[in-house]
Chains A and B, each alone.
Chain A
């Protein structure tokens, strides 16, 4: 029943594709492997060097580290899930009904890796820096919506991926807190080199 509802929502969103070429192009670029992940990476990069005083810089650098650790954990968690469960992609299950605007990924549909990573980035940052973290949820949501729009994920894949991203962010924060001496050492070294 959940999968039926999931397919209904999927077809409602994917049904919007193929109507306006300009919107299709925008969604394809948003869903691509390069644009939004690059935006995330650039924001984390900017965060590392931002802050008007040492205190705010320290907080930003912790946020960047937390986001990076969360992203690593999200990747790992999705890999583990993929070993246990393989849900077919929408275009594999309904080859004639899906408006596919993207290449055909070969990995399992559930959980959505992009959603896990996007939400891990946003949540990992939000846990340490609320303002930037909140902003990062916008590209994460755009990426997720675009992935459904172009026909490579069901909404449930996205929800599962997002849940993984959020959960692992708390784990990342815990790891950052437990292993505090290591990031402190990294930051001290970078500070000595005038890079943090």
Chain B
């Protein structure tokens, strides 16, 4: 595997973990893989520490390798893929999710919507409202 591919994988896995931390910390239930926040944090810690350990233990990284722009590019690709993967997986895992009783109405736009519903549900609702107009 090339260094670029390995760095991309590192970024992808770490971003998946970071998204789970953010989802639990900000109560974004729609993008969380787990119902219990503790499990989410544990999962995130395990995959982030695992990925970093794998990256640094398997090869000597104190050698000239990727340039700054290369790293930025591969991080961007890895992060984008992590967002897409999280949105798809969480939408499938939480497909039976419905707004909890007594909670305020979901925000009209933005990430805040994902506190109450999944990404697929948000898109569906958006499209339905578009048709009604």
Contact = CB atoms under 8 A, between A and B. Distances in A.
Interface residues of B, number: 38
B102 interface: no
B110 A194 contact: yes
Contact of A42 (B14, B61, B110): B14
B15 A52 contact: no
Interface in A148-196: 191-192, 194-196
Interface residues of A, number: 32
A153 to B, nearest CB: 15
Given A50-B26, A194-B114, A194-B122, A45 B15 contact: yes
A40 to B, nearest CB: 10
Given A34-B7, A34-B55, A50-B25, A196 B111 contact: yes
A93 interface: no
Interface of B: 7, 10-11, 14-15, 18-19, 21-23, 25-28, 52, 55-56, 61-66, 68, 71, 75, 79, 83, 107, 109-114, 119, 122-123
Interface string A35-76: 101100110011001111110010000000000000000010
A125 interface: no
